[in-house]
Amino acid sequence: MGTVVLVGAQWGDEGKGKVTDFLAARADIVVRYQGGNNAGHTVVVGEEEFRLHLLPSGILHPEKTCVIGNGVVVDPAVLVGEIESLKRRGIKMARLLISERAHLIFPYHRLLDGAEEKRKGNGRIGTTGRGIGPAYVDKMARVGIRMSDLLEDATFSRRLEENVTFKNALLERVYDAEGVSLPEIFDAYREYAAILREYVADTGVFLHQAITAGKNVLFEGAQGTLLDIDHGTYPFVTSSSPTAGGACLGAGIGPRVIDRVLGIAKAYTTRVGGGPFPTELKDELGEKIRDQGREFGTTTGRARRCGWFDAVIARYAARVNGLDYLCVTKLDVLTGIPVLKICRAYRYQGKEITDFPASTSVLEACEPVYEELPGWEEDITGARRLEDLPENTRRYLERLSSLAGLPVALIGVGPRREQTIVCHDAFAC
């Protein structure tokens, strides 16, 4: 398998968790490299459903190692809760390592996230409210607190006090909100430190040694290309780098050790939160896709906005991530729709454009240019080979692949592990 980076090619929720869990069988190590518990990755194994927010989606394979890289922002309350919930369910977890360089999320980050959204009013981003943005702000402002600080009592106490003093002033005087209690946070975080200490390590050294020894490593992106702080639909983005380059920064590896990059895309498109979405369906068909695809957020339960597959986005994702293959998920959800549309270009001020625009107002003014293809009625959830799919399903896939300019490696025809069709051995590195 070598080293494979798996990224979301749309606005998140593409089914990265399921694909990571599926591919983890062939990996030795699964690494999360950015984001935090804004992510919600649903993995279905047998009759059981697991909703993971911080633990990498390889965690259900007990013989593997999972790594939370330095680029992740860790809310220790959520992480401890997730570990304990798996233990309570009797799940034997993969070995877990957490980077000592990973930054922490504190209660004041969550409060600031909410206060800032409230201040923005109608212009709000629609964040998950998990404190992700403010935690990355602190990291960049060089006032963040890292996992290694949490394990050193004196350093932790000093840095926490500095932060709480300033954040309380900000909350109370600028946002007219209530501040937080320093002793309460200190005590709670001391308890998290006691639980998490055994997992904290220099994961950069671990990954370097593993890659040098020829281990198979899967880097699991959270969110998606269009939520990337640089390449996404700014400002309606998250505060990290979900694109493939983020794997280098967020895991501490060099770009030359990456063998393959896989883009995960739904057979249609969804988005949660605010921001432009050219192929959005605001009608009954959008609702039908939402119902059939159970498109409600894993983290916040919000209804996801649904629309047609957008090949302009797929080509953009191919370029900024250097994708080798596309994995097309949730193809089964399109069953029973008589005519399917794929957006091949945008029309802007009377001209066709094929490059994804940077400006929000330009994107909002873009009209999708569609191709139409006939749908299919057959149930495809039992298909396990490409040949098992109806002719119209294969034609849809072929067109999607050709417009995206990428070969398709995997196809998802249902949420379970085994509901996966492997078309290309993208992992024979």
Point out which residues bind Mg ion (CB under 5 A). 13, 40, 298
Q: Which of 238, 279, 419, 420 binds ligand IMO (CB under 6 A)?
A: 238
* Among ligand GDP, Mg ion, ligand IMO, none, residue 414 binds (CB under 5-8 Å by kind): ligand GDP
Phi first, then psi, for residue 325 (nearest 5°) are -145, 160
Q: Which listed range, 6-14, 187-195, 205-213, 364-372, lies at the site for ligand IMO (CB under 6 A)?
A: 6-14
Q: Residue 42 half-sphere exposure, CB side, CA atoms within 13 Å?
A: 19
Give the position of tokens 């935090």. 36
Calculate the CA 359 to chain-centre distance. 23
Contact residues for 166 (Cβ-Cβ < 8 A; gap 6+): 143
Dist. CA 225–CA 238, nearest whole Å: 10
Q: With contact defined as beta carbons under 8 Å apart, do 277 and 307 qualify?
A: yes
Q: Residue 243 half-sphere exposure, CB side, CA atoms within 13 Å?
A: 20
Q: Counting contacts by CB under 6 A, is residue 56 touching ligand GDP?
A: no
For residue 331, the one-letter residue type is L
- The contact mask relative to ligand IMO for 330-369 (x = CB under 6 A, - = no) is ----------------------------------------
Q: Which of 18, 109, 110, 130 binds ligand IMO (CB under 6 A)?
A: 130
Q: Which of 43, 150, 272, 410 binds ligand IMO (CB under 6 A)?
A: 272
Residue 300: CB minimum distance to ligand IMO, A: 7
Please identify, using beta-carbon distances, which residue of 79 and 196 lies nearer to ligand GDP. 79
Residue 336 falls in which region: left (phi positive, over 0), alpha (psi -120 to 50) or beta? left
Q: Which of 41, 61, 103, 109 is catalytic?
A: 41
Is 53 a known active-site residue? no
Dist. CA 259–CA 427, nearest whole Å: 9
Q: With contact defined as beta carbons under 8 Å apart, do 59 and 94 qualify?
A: yes
Residue 32: CB minimum distance to Mg ion, A: 13
Dist. CA 311–CA 317, nearest whole Å: 9
Q: Give the gyration radius of the chain's Cα atoms.
A: 21
- The contact mask relative to ligand IMO for 192-231 (x = CB under 6 A, - = no) is ------------------------------xxx--x----
Is 41 a known active-site residue? yes
Q: Counting contacts by CB under 6 A, is residue 40 touching ligand GDP?
A: yes
Contact residues for 423 (Cβ-Cβ < 8 A; gap 6+): 386, 407, 408, 409, 410, 411
Q: Counting contacts by CB under 6 A, is residue 12 touching ligand IMO?
A: yes
Q: Note the residues at the interface with ligand GDP (CB under 6 A).
A: 8, 12-18, 40-42, 44, 298, 329-330, 332-333, 412-415
Active site residues: 13, 41
- Residues at the interface with ligand IMO (CB under 6 A): 8, 11-13, 38-41, 125-128, 130, 132-133, 222-224, 227, 236, 238-239, 272-273, 298
